[in-house]
Structure 1
Amino acid sequence: MLEQFKKQNKRVRHYKWWQISCVIALVIIVIGGVSIGSSVFYIIKEGPRIESVLLGPSIKYLSNKEENSYVALEAIPENLKDAFIAIEDERFYEHNGIDLKAIVRAMAVNLQTGSYSQGGSTITQQVIKNCVLTPDKNIRRKIQEQYLALQLEKIYDKDKILEYYLNTIALGQGTVGVQQAAKYYFDKEVSQLSLAESVVLASITQAPSRYNPISDSEANWERVQVVLQKMTEQDLITEEEKQVALSENPYKVK
């Protein structure tokens, strides 16, 4: 009887300690969650307000409108718009400013490589980065970027955001926006670009110095093939159109 009582008492003590451990763990989780939430709230609060994106002059300044390089979306070829979307943000017309699938994929790549090379940024986030925030890669800036991207999508429709993006994206050699880049690399208006030429510009975005069409056309052409394949897979162009683009030499101007 005494031995049975001891065993039962031991089980009761063990159960109580298990209960206490669970409560402690729950308290830690709650405190941690509150702490993280407070930190995120503070980071967002100390960041710029969405009104700074509405000022317009920042976008006009970055795209050098005084040089008539700002172009409306209607003047930009469909192939060029599709090329940028295909390689930069294939779910652009589906997400609300941030793409959770892209973020998860980027996190997986970063964990595998041990770097911060992938950010999972959407086109909307890149507009925020180009016009409001610094290009620094850190958690604080990323949280602010994602929050502002969500707010921006409540104010502007997708086409306007895409227009802002295509007019503020850095495309190497000091060019900003697709009109400047078209004039610099091909001596053409952006509206006159062929499919191959459009994809050359879209191929620059990930690393302007590495994929420079002038100083490293071979690397750019390798990237062009990747973009064309993505456009084909996403039914943005046909296989025949891809082959025609691959038969072109878009680097003959410079």
Structure 2
Amino acid sequence: MRKLARKLVAIPAVLFAVGAYVYLTTPDVRALKIENPKSTAFMDLRAREARAKGEEPRRNHRWVTYRRISPQLVRAVLVTEDSAFWKHDGLDYQQIKESLEVNLERGEFARGASTITQQLAKNLYLSPSKNPLRKLRELIIARRLEAELPKQRILEIYLNVIEWGNGIYGAEAAARTYFGKPAARLNSSESALLAAAIANPRLMNPGSPTARLLRRQQMVMRRMGAVEPPPVLASTPGDPVDADAVIPALDPIPALPPQGAPIVLPGTVVPAPKKPGGGGGSGRP
């Protein structure tokens, strides 16, 4: 009985010690109120991976303020990654509960429940490894980010640092690489394509979209009217209002083709339909 009693006392003590250690060693995020991160843990990881292969690391990254990111892209990212972003405190407790149930059922830490704030915490400071201690650090950092930064600032940083292809980081670099335009000018279909690629931007390349990516794009576009359009006029802390800044208007969500039909991207050449009885090879819009 004494051994059992000692174990019952020791377990909470160990958990408290681990929690205290993780909390005390998490980074101070207050500087992010006015400072833009020049690099992230994820960017550094990609650079190490490239060097390990004998390759020169690539980094195409250009920071822009929240005001210079298309509201269409903000909307597309929210419906894809975190539709409750404006309402939660950094953590989606229902998703965490469901994730824990799945992990316990499988007997491994296989599924995570990540809000945009959690994704940002991992991207800025942590490794992509899946283990409970790393996840605990992610949760604590996410709560600190929410406590110290306005929602708009969190979203601004997120959209400026996430990966959108090999060495391509942030909305501005992605918009210029794939569409030859600034992030402020992205329309709804372009925004949906970028948002659809976030899950795996190295396999789902917006520059050469696969059928799977185009299906995801169509799904995103169908959902883009499901969240409240994001605020675009509030300035970010430390970012004085620019009277000459271009605030892109919310262009209407275009009519979509029937379920299963492909979405034609801007600039795509669509062959004219063949005349009845005419010959020639097959064409695909």
TM-score of the superposed pair, with normalisation by structure 2: 0.67
* Aligned with residue 99 of structure 2, among 90, 106, 124: 106
Q: Does 1:125 align with 2:141?
A: no
2:81 is aligned with what amino acid? E
* Aligned with residue 143 of structure 2, among 133, 145, 150: 150
Task: Choose between structure 1 and 2 for higher RCO, CA contacts under 8 A separated by at least 6 residues.
Answer: 2
Change (3 A) 1:39 1:168: same
State whether residues 61 and 168 of structure 2, in contact with CA within 8 Å, keep that contact through their aligned partners in structure 1.
no
Shift of 1:211: 1.8
* Aligned with residue 195 of structure 1, among 183, 188, 198: 188
Larger Rg: 1
CA distance in 1, matches of 2:106, 2:227: 27
2:27 corresponding residue in structure 1: 48
Change (3 A) 1:68 1:137: closer
1:10 corresponding residue in structure 2: none
Q: Does 1:161 align with 2:151?
A: no
2:253 is aligned with what amino acid? E
1:91 is aligned with what amino acid? A
Q: CA RMSD in A?
A: 3.3
1:36 corresponding residue in structure 2: 15
2:201 is aligned with what amino acid? P
Q: What SS does the aligned partner of 2:122 have?
A: helix
State whether residues 211 and 223 of structure 1, in contact with CA within 8 Å, keep that contact through their aligned partners in structure 2.
no
1:241 corresponding residue in structure 2: 253
Aligned identity (percent) is 31
1:220 corresponding residue in structure 2: 213
Change (3 A) 1:67 1:209: closer
Q: Where in structure 1 are there 5+ consecutive unaligned residues?
A: 1-19
CA distance in 2, matches of 1:46, 1:36: 15
Q: What SS does the aligned partner of 2:197 have?
A: coil
2:38 corresponding residue in structure 1: 60
